[in-house]
Each structure stands twice: as C-alpha cells, then as structure tokens.
C-alpha cells in the first residue's frame, strides 16, 4: 500500500511516501518558512521523486497534532481535501505517537514532547508492544514540572522540547530520565507507517469529519466557559 | 467555464459553483450562532469551525449543482483580506482541490469578491462605476474603472460600519450580530430623535470614521438604566447617522469620478433603510444604483468564483505557493506588487 504522510504540527514540517513498510522518500522544511505556502509544492516534490501522481497512491495519513494550531490546520485541511478530491482513504495519526515511534526499540517508557507555547508542552506516555506502540493514560498539556511529577519509572524523553528542557527534566527526575537524539521528530514516512495497521484494521477516518487534536481551547472559549460555569453555580 | 469558489475569510464557510455568470450552487455554513455566545467573532473558534465544515460545504456545492469534480475548470479562493487563521483554511482546501484536479488556482481579494457579488447579480451594471462595499469587517469606496481595474478611493479610518452596528447593539444589550437587531428595532423609532454626528460628513476625503459616532451614543446614554432608555429611537437615530454618511460619501465619490452608476455591496447593503435612502438620493442625482441579490450581500463563494473567472479570462492565475494575506491591498489585474 502506497501512503502519503503529512505532518505540519511541529516546528519541522514533513511529507513522506511509503510503499508497504518501505520508506520511499521523505522531505522536511522549517515551519517558519510557511507551512501553507510550501505544503502543496512539497507534496508535488515528494510524488515526483517517487515517480507517482496523487491518483496513484492508495491512501493518505496526516499528523493531527497536538502541536501548532495553525500548522496542524494546514496539514489536516490539505490532507483531507486531497483525500476527498481523489477519493482515497485517510487516517489521522497523533503527532506525539509519530515522535515516539522513532524510539520504539527502547524497552522503557517513551515520553514524546511537542512545544505548546508559553513554556508548556504537549505530551503522552507510550510503551512499545511488539511492532506497535500502546498509549498509557491521557494526553498531557502543561508545564514540565507537572509532566515529570507523573513519571515514576525510567523514561525516554523525545522531541526537540526534550532537549530544550533537559536541565529541568533531569533536575526533577535525575537518573530516571533518558534523552533521545535531538533529531528525533515526526516524519511524513512515520505518520504513513503508523497508518498501515489502522488501514489494515479497516479503521480509516472519515475525510469530512477529520479535525485536529487541539488539546486546548482559545482564551475566549476558556473565559466564556468559566463565566458560564460560575453562572451555573449561582 | 465552471469555477469552484471557496470563501472562509471570516465566519462563513462557503463554496459555490459558477458557470459563465450563472450560479449553479451557493452553499454557506454560517457560524453566527456560535459566535453570538461570545458577543463577537472569536478568530480561533472561527478557524476551527472552518476545518470542521469545509469538506461538507464543498461536497454540498457539487451535489446541489449536479456537477462532478472532473467538470471543474478552475478553483478560486479568497486569499487576501480577512482573518488570517480563517483565510488559511480556505486557501489550504482550494490548493488541495486545484492540485488534485489539475486545474488553475486563483487567489482573490475579499473586496473584489464583493464587487463581483453585484456584477453577478446585475450583469448590466455600467463600467466605470463606484462601488461602496460595507460590512462588519470593511467600509471601502472603490472606483471600478473596468472589470478587475480598481482605484480605492476611501476606507474606514477606524471601525467598519457593520462593526459600529455590532458595538452599539452590544451596548444597548441587543446581542450579536448588531445589524439585524438595530434595523428591526429602528422601524419603531424616530430617526430624528437624537442629534448624532455625521463623522467626516463635510470632509472632502472619501474616508469614513465610525468610532466617534459610537462613542457619542455611548456617552449620551451610559450609566442610564437600560429599562429607561428609548431603545427604538436610539437605534433609529444611530442607523440614520451611519446611512447618511454612507450615502453622502458615495454620491460625492460618484460625482467626483463622473460615473453614471453606483453599486452597494457587503453585509450592511441588506439594510432596508440604506437601500431606500440610496435609491432616493441616487434618483435625485440621476445616478443608477445597484444592490446584489440579498443572498450575495453577506460573504459567499459565488462572488469569489465570479471574480476568479474574470481574472482567469485575462490569463491571471496563482501559483501553488499561494499565501493567505490578511491585510493585502486591493490590486488591479496585472498589478501584483506594482503601483498601477
């Protein structure tokens, strides 16, 4: 199965193509160069490198976040519209799982991090189970201290923020904390690889209703919710 | 030529199919009820809603037109002017459609869309003419010299006219959006009840300012118990002040350019008082006046498709690196980045 994978949730945007479990080509660019401007040109580049047209792929996979709200909207909207336009199945993949997948051979708890702004991170815990990853517990959004308080065993911290906050993490966890390579990030190919089991299980997503995983709300929404809750309490 | 139009510049997710000036479908998913809870448009909420709705809206545009993807000749999208997070969703979808269907992509300025809302409704509108496009997001006077040839004559210096309606409506406790609420209440009021300013009314510039008018109303009635306020009279007087300024500036601009016709577009052009006063004043001056069909006054994608078709006819199209630019100037054809 040929799958085009897209992930624009992180600082590094990436598009890749797989053919079965073989990575055919992967392309990355920095989000500050503009996700919206580059996404279709990069898609075209990846397909041309592989000598394929969009109609010749069998499915699409897209990182749905958590990550940059605007970035992930570009990736999800483009991926689902491409899938709709050429009538191919689509699968939304957690951008955190895509980072954790890079360290799937490790036997300890995996803790991928994505920057959430204001010194916060998005995270989740994963454990390798054979060839796949199992998520443990819920997604996390908050500061590093809150995250490290949840870690009670040796854990491998992954993704660019892991290196940014390395001192803080080590300060809290000491020898329990390990760190992956600074180059561990999501990749279009990994997002595509993660979709294979989902496609095989008949668990593709609906291109119309697929939306990003935000793990947070806008300030206005938060204020309104607070106001409505308070009004309800009275 | 069959053009798919996509418009997400503010709080409406819209898609339309237009074939050579004929609207085959015009689908709009409005978010207005969602934003009413906040008392105004929340950009992050709007962006999220666009992502949720965009696929369904595009599909509905094809279904109700009875057309298939392979019949589309081009994709036009609002890429300039609006909320950046909202524009991004439409541009993402439009690029994906154009790339997948291997057809030209054309980015359109939101204001050009509104100019075409009238041309689509009234193909006989003379050229040149002066277009006043007025909504919650903009108030602009444009000299439409030829198709896709523009000179921006005036702009609002602060609030858009529709925005002033929203703010006064909020102040009076009438809710959001303010336009329909104030218009409805104004029908029971006396529009000469309060002497409100006509900002820049005597100025020779074609610019608008509504912030001072809003402050005048607020200062006149703040601190008063809402129950004691003569709400219909305030609504009618305020509405009349806005309409008077819009009418006088537009007529001034038309006389200055020596055109024989004006068009009034955008969400505020639905307002009945505005339509009546424009018709009367233009009649006195011997000017023709044109308004779009009511469903083309507010944001829609049919107007974007029509503008796209016109630009494509001149051979203009966008590259696949098209960006979303929230405050781009309105440019004539062939003038991208130049001062024409």
What's this model's pTM, rounded to 2 decimal places? Answer: 0.95
For A211, which of B37, B52, B93 is closest by C-beta distance? B52
Does residue B146 form part of some domain?
A: yes
CB spacing of B321 vs A81 below 8 angstroms? no
Residue range of the domain that includes A118: 99-179
Q: Residue A118 has what pLDDT?
A: 87
Share of chain B above pLDDT 90, in %: 89
Rounded mean pLDDT, B101-113: 98
Give me the residue from A34, A84, A217 closest to B55, CB to CB. A84
Residue A202 has pLDDT above 70, yes or no: yes
Kindly state the average pLDDT of the residues A138-153. 96
Residue among B45, B52, B95 whose CB faces A218 most closely: B45
One domain, residues A137 and A205? no
Arithmetic mean of pLDDT, B82-106: 98
Please state the domain count of chain B.
Answer: 2
Position A233 confidence tier, pLDDT thresholds 50, 70, 90: low
Q: Quick check: is A232 in a domain?
A: no
Do A140 and A89 have their domain in common? no
Beta-strand ranges (E) seen in chain A are: 2-7, 12-19, 22-30, 59-63, 90-93, 109-117, 120-129, 132-142, 155-158, 177-179
pLDDT on residue B299 = 97
Please say whether the beta carbons of A17 and A50 come within 8 A: yes
- Looking at the domain assignment, is residue B339 inside a domain? no
pLDDT digits (tens, 9 = 90+) for B43-54: 999 999 999 999
B164 and B67 housed in the same domain: no
pLDDT above 80 (res B22): yes
pLDDT confidence of residue A234: 55
Both A16 and A84 in one domain: the answer is yes
Query: Where residue A229 falls among pLDDT bands split at 50, 70, 90?
Result: confident
Local structure of A107: helix, strand or coil: coil
* B103 Cα to chain A: minimum distance (Å): 12
Q: Which residues of B304-313 are buried (b: 16+ CB within 10 A; e: fewer)?
A: bbbbbbbbbe
Contact at CB, B47 and A77, closer than 8 angstroms = no
B55 and B23 in a single domain? The answer is yes
Question: What is the mean pLDDT of the segment spanning A95-121?
Answer: 93
CATH number of B187's domain: 3.30.420.40
Residues B105 and B154 in one domain: no
Domain extent for B96: 2-114+296-313
Judge if B278 and B130 occupy the same domain. yes
Q: Are B318 and B79 in contact (CB under 8 A)?
A: yes
In terms of domains, do B270 and B230 share one? yes
- Considering the domain boundaries, does residue A233 fall inside one? no
Nearest to B55 among A80, A212, A224 (CB): A80
- Does residue B331 lie within any of the structural domains? no
Domain CATH number, residue A17:
3.30.420.40
For an interface test with B, the pick among A38, A40, A227 (most B C-beta atoms closer than 10 Å) comes out as A40
Q: Could you tell me where the DSSP H helices lie in A50-187?
A: 69-86, 95-100, 144-148, 160-164, 166-173
**Are residues B87 and B171 located together in one domain of the fold?**
no
Query: Is B256 in a helix, a strand, or coil?
Result: helix
A-chain residue closest to B84, CA distance = A70
Q: What is the mean pLDDT of residues B78-96?
A: 97
Give the pLDDT band (50/70/90) at residue B240: very high
pLDDT band at A32 (very low <50, low <70, confident <90, very high): confident
* A9-13, A35-39, B132-136: range with lowest mean pLDDT: A9-13
Which one of B35, B42, B51, B71 would you mutate to disrupt binding with A, by most A Cβ within 10 Å of its Cβ? B51
Domain shared by B67 and B206, yes or no:
no
Mutation pick from A47, A85, A224 vs chain B, by most beta carbons of B within 10 Å, is A85
Higher-confidence residue of A233 and A50: namely A50
Q: Are residues A67 and A108 in the same domain?
A: no
A113 close to A150: Cβ distance less than 8 angstroms: no
Q: Does B100 contact A at CB distance below 8 Å?
A: yes
**In terms of domains, do A65 and A16 share one?**
yes
Is A76 part of the contact surface with chain B (CB cutoff 8 Å)?
yes
Of B42, B51, B56, the CB nearest to A77: B51
What is the rounded distance in angstroms from the CA atom of residue B327 to the CA atom of residue B140? 13
Q: What is the pLDDT of residue B337?
A: 52
Question: Per-residue pLDDT for B27 more than 80?
Answer: yes
Of B20, B19, B113, which Cα lies nearest the Cα of B66? B19
Residue B74 and residue B152 in one domain: no
A198 lies in some domain = yes
Q: How far does A183 lie from chain B, in Å, by closest CA?
A: 27
Q: Angle, nearest 10°, between helix axes B178-186 and B272-285? A: 70
% of chain A exceeding 70 in pLDDT? 99
pLDDT at B338: 52
Asked if A10 and A63 sit in the same domain, the reply is yes
Q: Are residues B35 and B174 in the same domain?
A: no
Q: What pLDDT digit, counting tens, does each position of B126-171 carry?
A: 999 999 999 999 999 999 999 999 999 999 999 999 999 999 999 9
Q: Which residue has the higher pLDDT, B35 or B231?
A: B231
Cβ neighbours of residue A17 under 8 Å, at least 6 residues apart?
A: A2, A3, A4, A5, A23, A24, A25, A26, A46, A47, A49, A50, A52, A57, A188, A189, A192
Rounded Cα–Cα distance for residues A214 and A63 (Å)? 12
For the segment A150-168, the average pLDDT, to the nearest whole number, is 95
Q: What percent of chain A has pLDDT over 90?
A: 82
- Judged by CB atoms closer than 8 Å, whether chains meet at B44 and A69 is answered as yes
pLDDT at A25 over 90: yes
Q: For residue B95, which residues of chain A lie inside 8 Å, CB to CB? A: 39-40, 78
Mutate to test the interface with B, among A9, A71, A77, A213 (most CBs of B within 10 A): A77
Residue A227 lies in a domain: no
Judge if B150 and B267 occupy the same domain: yes
Is residue A50 located within the same domain as residue A34?
yes
Q: Which of B44, B52, B95 sits opposite A78 (nearest CB)?
A: B95
- Whether A30 and A90 map to the same domain: the answer is yes
Query: pLDDT, tens digit, for every residue of B28-47?
Result: 999 888 888 888 889 999 99
Smallest Cβ–Cβ distance between A73 and the set B45, B88, B320 belongs to B88
Q: CB distance from A144 to chain B under 8 Å?
A: no
CB within 8 Å of chain A, chain B residues 46-85: 47-48, 51-52, 54-56, 58-59, 69, 85
Closest by alpha carbon to B335, among B119, B152, B206?
B152
Q: Does A197 touch chain B (CB under 8 A)?
A: no
Q: What is the pLDDT of residue B167?
A: 94
Count of structural domains within chain A: 2
Q: Are residues A39 and A74 in the same domain?
A: yes
- For the residues B108-127, what does the mean pLDDT come to? 97
Residue B230, domain member (yes or no): yes
Tens-digit pLDDT profile for residues A45-84: 999 999 999 999 999 999 999 999 999 999 999 999 999 9
Nearest C-alpha in A relative to B40: A220
Structural domain includes residue A226: no
A57 in contact with chain B, both atoms CB, cutoff 8 A: no
- B330 lies in a domain? no
Lowest mean pLDDT among A134-143, B32-41, B140-149, B209-218: B32-41
The count of C-alpha atoms lying within 13 angstroms of the C-alpha of A23, restricted to the half-sphere facing its C-beta, is 14
Same domain, A21 and A68: yes
Q: Is B204 found in the same domain as B80?
A: no
pLDDT digits (tens, 9 = 90+) for B288-305: 999 999 999 999 999 999
Residue A84 contacts B where some CB pair is shorter than 8 Å: yes
A contact test, residue of B35, B49, B99, B322 with most A CBs within 10 A? B99
Confidence of residue A212 (pLDDT cuts 50, 70, 90): very high
A57 occurs within a structural domain: yes
> Is B319 contained in some domain?
no
Looking at the fold, whether B67 and B207 belong to one and the same domain comes out as no
* CB atoms B42 and A220 under 8 Å: yes
ipTM above 0.85, yes or no: yes
Q: Are A85 and A112 part of one and the same domain?
A: no
Q: What is the pLDDT of residue B186?
A: 96
DSSP state of A9: S
Q: Are residues A89 and A14 in the same domain?
A: yes
Average pLDDT over residues A172-196: 91
């Amino acid at each position: 199965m040929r799958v085009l994978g897209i992930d624009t949730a992180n600082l590094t945007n990436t598009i890749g193509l797989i053919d079965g479990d073989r990575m055919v080509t992967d392309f990355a660019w920095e989000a500050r160069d503009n996700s919206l401007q580059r996404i279709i040109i990069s898609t075209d580049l990846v397909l041309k490198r592989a000598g394929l047209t969009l109609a010749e792929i069998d499915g699409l996979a897209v990182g749905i976040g958590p990550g940059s709200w605007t970035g992930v909207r570009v990736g999800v909207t483009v991926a689902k519209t491409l899938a709709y336009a050429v009538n191919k199945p689509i699968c939304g993949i957690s951008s955190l799982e895509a980072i954790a997948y890079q360290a799937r051979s490790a036997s300890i708890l995996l803790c991928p991090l994505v920057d959430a702004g204001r010194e916060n991170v998005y995270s989740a815990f994963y454990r390798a189970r054979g060839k796949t990853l199992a998520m443990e517990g819920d997604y996390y959004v908050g500061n590093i201290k809150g995250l490290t308080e949840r870690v009670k065993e040796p854990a491998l911290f992954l993704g660019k923020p892991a290196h940014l906050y390395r001192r803080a993490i080590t300060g809290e966890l000491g020898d329990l904390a390990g760190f992956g390579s600074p180059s561990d990030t999501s990749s279009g190919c990994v997002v595509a690889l993660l979709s294979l089991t989902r496609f095989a299980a008949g668990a593709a997503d609906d291109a119309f209703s697929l939306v990003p995983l935000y793990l947070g709300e806008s300030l206005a929404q938060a204020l309104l919710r607070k106001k409505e809750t308070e009004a309800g309490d009275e | 030529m069959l053009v798919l139009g996509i418009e997400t510049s503010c709080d409406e997710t819209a898609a339309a199919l237009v074939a050579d000036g004929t609207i085959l479908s015009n689908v709009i998913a409005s978010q207005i009820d969602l934003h009413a809870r906040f008392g105004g448009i929340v950009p992050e909420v709007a962006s999220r809603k666009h992502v949720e709705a965009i696929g369904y809206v595009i599909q509905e545009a094809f279904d109700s037109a009875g057309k298939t993807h392979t019949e589309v000749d081009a994709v036009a999208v609002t890429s300039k002017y609006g909320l950046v997070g909202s524009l991004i969703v439409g541009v993402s979808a439009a690029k994906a459609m154009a790339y997948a269907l291997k057809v030209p992509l054309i980015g359109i300025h939101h204001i050009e869309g509104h100019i075409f809302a009238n041309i689509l409704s009234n193909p006989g509108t003379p050229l040149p003419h002066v277009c006043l496009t007025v909504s919650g997001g903009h108030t602009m006077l444009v000299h439409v010299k030829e198709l896709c040839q523009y000179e921006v004559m005036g702009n609002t210096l602060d609030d858009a006219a529709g925005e002033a309606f929203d703010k006064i409506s909020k102040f009076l406790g009438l809710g959001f959006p303010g336009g329909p609420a104030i218009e409805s209440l104004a029908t029971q009021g006396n529009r000469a009840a309060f002497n409100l300013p006509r900002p820049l009314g005597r100025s020779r510039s074609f610019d608008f300012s509504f912030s001072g008018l809003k402050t005048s109303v607020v200062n006149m009635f703040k601190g008063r118990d809402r129950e004691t306020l003569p709400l219909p009279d305030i609504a009618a007087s305020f509405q009349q002040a806005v309409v008077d300024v819009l009418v006088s500036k537009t007529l001034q601009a038309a006389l200055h350019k020596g055109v024989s016709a004006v068009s009034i577009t955008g969400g505020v052009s639905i307002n009945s008082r505005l339509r009546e006063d424009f018709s009367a004043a233009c009649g006195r001056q011997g000017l023709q006046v044109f308004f779009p069909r009511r469903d083309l006054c507010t944001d829609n994608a049919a107007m974007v498709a029509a503008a796209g078709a016109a630009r494509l006819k001149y051979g203009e199209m966008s590259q696949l690196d098209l960006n979303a630019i929230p405050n781009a100037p309105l440019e004539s054809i062939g003038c991208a980045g130049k001062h024409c």
